[in-house]
Structure 1
Amino acid sequence: MTLSTPLLAAAPLVAGLVGPALIGATPAQQPADRPSVTSVERAAPRAEVVEHVAARTPADQRRVLGYWTPQRMAGALPIDLLGIVMKDGGLLSGLSSRSGVGTAPEVAGGAAKIVTPELPGKAVPGLSGPPLVHGLTGGAVPLHQSARPQATTSGSRWVTGGLVSKTTGRVFLTVGGVDFVCSAGTVKSANRDVVVTAGHCVKDGAGEWADNWTFVPGYQEGGGQPYGAYTARRMFVAGPWSRSGDDSYDVGMVALNTSRGKHVADVVGTQEIAFNGSRGGQAYGFGYPADPPYDGERLFYCAGRLRNDPYGQTRDQGLGCDMTAGSSGGPWLTRFDAATGKGIVTSVSSFKYSDDQGTMYGPYFGDSARALFTTAQNS
């Protein structure tokens, strides 16, 4: 099934640079409000977008914001544990035999008792590479901190500030009655409400949609919300992700509600977003890793050259990165200016192979991601 709304034309390329076209520079008239529905698939000539309506009414928004008490935020699990606590039908639970994720533990009152499995890193029968583990890393890694941004790092704390420290934030969500955390980032859009994240931070593959979805830009240690908290209004994933959890399409776009009457873009700013760019090159990946040795309380980044998936299982590109679960959905920026914290979002943190914990993979932003964005910015 090929699907979505008509795509907006891309803005001109940045002068003097070769790369993807920038999106979101031209305002678009927002359509009239649609009927309240749970989810809907819409047809488009080149891509497929699957939509879910989240917290639309003021009462819904108050319920979601009230749900995230400091205790619930502190107790939320990194998203890679989703397959452990889900029973059947979800993406990661279906991959448990592939990734060594393990069987479901006891779940009571939104809390899960986790037994850490071994990750053998063996090739999956019929596939050319080892199993995938979403957002997961293992083993102790050093936590670097440098006042001067590095062009190559597998995981350093971002202490320079700038725009990226405000546009990147933590996501809090609930799936199957269990609370989780991810990362996300704001992007320039017509409605001034769009954030980009991983598909598995929005919908569990062929499984259920996330509930209580809330974005906290510029999250600060101890649960600080210097720019407020923004609930999801509408969520969007690609058809191949929604049907089968295809990792090449592990992208989610979310249109947020306003907070205290203000759009997120007007409060924290945005990064540019681009599609169908050249592969390879330099990238910076940001997020809030929450699995040890990280604790999810601070913004970290990886930086280096991108490379193709060596196993050919996805169209993703890899970035040397020790960040752990919780960083899933964090934005990857190219043409990044470390002095200002500005760049162009061209991917998000998605998965690792179980026998290569030093490389994070992110989906290539092509026509499918463009369709998601176009739909989200006009929602």
Structure 2
Amino acid sequence: MTSPLLPALAAVSLAGLLAPPAVASEPWDGGAVGTVGKIIWDAGGGRLGLCSGAVVDAPNGSVVATAAHCARTRDNPEPPRDAWFVPGYDHGRDSYREDGWRIASWHTPEGWDVTRETVEVLPHDYAFLTVAEKDGRTVQEAHGANRIAFEPVPEGRRVAVLGYPAVEPYDGESLRYCEGDTDVLGADEAQAPNVGGLVLEGCDMTAGSSGGPWIQDFAADGQSGTVVAVMSVGSGDGHVVGRPFPDEARELFAAAGG
């Protein structure tokens, strides 16, 4: 699980789309974004598992949205135990436990059945994390939160994809982003596992960006917006796909945020 995005990349391709050369994601130049962060866990053998996530507004003030494959895979069917969410992460590998908020529980949809093939469960590649309070405060009290939107996702509106890609040419130590218009994949545009997902062309986000938010309607201060999807898979040639939250995700979200 050191490279959570890669297994899905190998298994899934986009159909009916031209593949332009990959365009490098850009460094985020707006300073730290407290509502977006890095998920880090001890993967054993001196290795760290890496994903991305975003704080979303919840009653308990303690919910982070990410991808289901960050929590469970066929090779690692149980969520990591020693795991942390670090909001506004920036070159903090040596201090992630001190800077981070401990992940108390992982919530993945029933459809994310890791005994099945990845392509069969991709429509369920979203998850919510509940993080413990720190110094008597919730992560939302300390850093704010994004709104969360469930399907249907408005098309044709600007979306920013944020995350911490950690495979070359990136090192996972700083926030990167891609930007474009929201495009929801239809049955005539993609293979079945990707239908209903959001696609962005010209973005070469790599493993480590998994679970990163797709955000519409960024606030003027650049600290929050509306999370409409989370980073799920990429084609390896400059297309990435975000997984939106279906209506049935509301119950899962309520369990994480109650």
Deviates more, 1:197-206 or 1:168-177: 168-177
Q: Which digits, 9 at most, give the CA deviation of each residue in 1:343-370, with x for residues without a partner?
A: 111101110124xx21110112221322
Q: Which amino acid aligns with 1:329?
A: G
- Aligned equivalent of 2:58: 189
> Which protein, 1 or 2, shows the higher relative CO under an 8 Å CA cutoff with sep ≥ 6?
2
CA distance in 1, matches of 2:73, 2:248: 18
Whole-angstrom CA distance in 2 between matches of 1:297 and 1:216: 12
Contact 2:35 / 2:224 at 8 angstroms: preserved in 1?
no
1:279 positional shift: 3.9
CA distance in 2 between counterparts of 1:364 and 1:176 reads 31
Residue 372 of structure 1 aligns to a residue whose secondary structure is helix
Other-structure match for 2:200: 319
Shift of 1:231: 1.4
Amino acid at match of 1:166: G
Q: Distance in 1 between matches of 2:71 and 2:34?
A: 21
Does the 8 Å contact 1:235/1:255 carry over to 2?
yes
> How many angstroms does 1:207 deviate by?
5.0
- Tell whether the 8 Å contact from 1:218 to 1:227 is kept in structure 2 after alignment: no
Partner of 1:78: 3
Contact kept in structure 2, 1:276 and 1:365, CA below 8 Å: yes
Instruction: State the identity as a percent.
Output: 32
Counterpart amino acid of residue 345 in structure 1: V
**C-alpha contact (below 8 Å) 2:22/2:204 kept by paired residues:** no
Structure 1 or 2, whichever has the larger Rg, is: 1
Instruction: Give the length in aligned residue pairs.
Output: 240
Counterpart-to-counterpart distance in 2, 1:235 and 1:301: 25
- For 2:212 and 2:84, the matched residues in 1 are separated by 15
Superposition pairs for residues 166-181 of structure 1, below 5 Å?
166-174=34-42, 179-181=48-50
How far the C-alpha of 1:338 sits from its partner, in A, is: 4.9
Q: Does structure 1 residue 367 correspond to structure 2 residue 236?
A: no
Which residue in 2 is equivalent to 1:334?
216
Residue 248 of structure 2 aligns to a residue whose secondary structure is helix
- Following superposition, the deviation at residue 297 of structure 1 comes to 0.7
Measure, in 2, the Cα distance between the counterparts of 1:334 and 1:227. Answer: 31
Give the aligned CA root-mean-square deviation in angstroms: 2.8
Instruction: Deviation per CA, 1:65-92: give whole Å up to 9, x if none.
Output: xxxxxxxxxxx933235x5xxxxxxxx6
* Matches of 2:225 and 2:97, distance apart in 1: 22
- Using the size of structure 2 for normalisation, the TM-score is 0.82
Distance in 1, matches of 2:230 and 2:37, equals 13
Q: Cα deviation per residue 1:48-104 (whole Å; 9 max; x = unaligned)?
A: xxxxxxxxxxxxxxxxxxxxxxxxxxxx933235x5xxxxxxxx6xx96x46xxxxx
In the aligned structure 2, how far is the partner of 1:338 from the partner of 1:78? 33
Q: Which moved more, 1:184-193 or 1:227-236?
A: 227-236
How far did 1:222 drift? Answer: 4.2
Aligned to 1:231, what secondary structure does the other structure show? strand
Cross-structure match for 1:15: none
Provide the C-alpha distance between the structure 2 equivalents of 1:340 and 1:326, rounded to a whole number of angstroms. Answer: 22
How far residue 307 of structure 1 moved from its aligned partner, in angstroms, is: 2.0
Residue of structure 1 aligned with 2:138, choices 263, 275, 287: 263
Task: Tell me, yes or no, if the aligned pair for 2:153 and 2:228 is still in contact at 8 Å.
Answer: no
CA contact (8 A) 2:2 2:43 kept: no
In structure 2, C-alpha distance between the alignment counterparts of 1:288 and 1:80, rounded to whole Å: 12
Cα contact 2:5–2:232 (8 A) shared by 1: no
Which amino acid letter does the alignment assign opposite residue 240 of structure 1? G
AA partner of residue 200 (structure 2): L
Q: Unpaired runs of 5+ in structure 2?
A: none
Residues 1:367 and 1:161: Cα distance change in structure 2 (over 3 Å): same
The change in CA–CA distance for 1:172 and 1:340 in structure 2 (over 3 A counts) is: closer
Normalised TM-score (structure 1): 0.57
Change (3 A) 1:362 1:213: same
Q: Which residue of 2 aligns with 1:229?
A: 100
Q: Distance in 1 between matches of 2:207 and 2:125?
A: 15
Q: CA deviation at 1:372?
A: 1.7
Given the alignment, which residue of 109, 120, 124 partners 1:238? 109
Give, as a single letter, the amino acid of the residue that structure 2 aligns with 1:332. Answer: W
SS at match of 1:336: coil
User: 1:247 corresponds to which residue?
Assistant: 122
Q: What aligned pairs does 1:36-115 form with structure 2 within 5 A after superposition?
A: 77-80=2-5, 83=7, 98=11
